[in-house]
Amino acid sequence: MRIRNVKNAKEILENSKVIVKDVNNCKDNLHILFGNDNPIHLEIGMGKGDFLLAMSKMYPDINFIGIERYDSIVCRACVKLEGVSNVKILVMDARNILDVIGKEIDTLYLNFSDPWPKKRQIKRRLTSSNFLSLYDSIFTGKPHIIMKTDNKDLFAYSLTSLSEYGYTLKNVSLDLEHSDIVSPRTEYQMKFKDKEYINYLEAVKEK
């Protein structure tokens, strides 16, 4: 993926109220960011923010946090999300999630994650057992993951990985666009929805 630089990116990030400036002091205090005790949902790899913007409008009584590591992408999300009271952005690498988030998340979204197709890259997939073990420590109750992808190999891998890790799969669809499942589109999804089948799953694990 080619990431284009954004003019005045540093200034945008410094002045944005949606970005959490000090991620190192977030752990076990995420509710303070929002000023309420509403449930918190997390999207890893939030991209340019279209999904979270739509979700924030659909569910005003839920708080949403997006994780994204690339400043240029975050800048574009900031423009869309500035002023939205129930969304915050953490600029960080998801591999460091336990340094920032405690048992505070109700639902995790993995939308069009990097498939890391090579065998040596398996541990970097967000549905690998490496990441699933990290997620165990961020959920308030039963682990709950919702995933969308147009990559058939990643989806097949994820179905197996989640099942082997103890998750129960439900609401599985190989063609989300023509299903009854309600899930706002990401910017990637809007661009390719007519070219690729979108795979979807929801998974829950007993603790």
Find the helix or strand (DSSP H, E) in which 199 lies. strand 199-205
| 147-206 residue pLDDT tens | 999 999 999 999 999 999 999 999 999 999 899 999 999 988 887 766 678 999 999 998
Query: Taking the C-alpha atoms of 198, 204, 205 and 206 in order, what is their torsion angle to the nearest 10 degrees?
Result: -170
Q: What is the mean pLDDT of residues 89-103?
A: 94
In the annotation, is 114 catalytic? yes
Phi, psi of 159 (to 5 degrees): -60, -45
pLDDT at 2 over 50: no
Query: Which pLDDT score is estimated for 166?
Result: 97
* Cross-strand bridge partners of residue 52: none
- DSSP code at position 62: S
- Which residue among the candidates 61, 71, 114, 150 is catalytic per the annotation? 114
Q: Note the Cα 8 to chain centre separation in Å.
A: 26
Query: Which pLDDT score is estimated for 207?
Result: 73
| Amino acid letter, 70 | Y
| 57-82 residue pLDDT tens | 999 999 999 999 988 889 889 989 98
Domains of the chain: 1-105 (3.40.50.150)
Query: Which pLDDT score is estimated for 101?
Result: 96
pLDDT at 45 over 90: yes
Integer Cα distance of 124 and 116 in angstroms: 7
Closest CA to 107 of 43, 160, 32: 43
Integer Cα distance of 54 and 52 in angstroms: 5
Burial class (CB in 10 A: 0-12, 13-18, 19+), 83: exposed
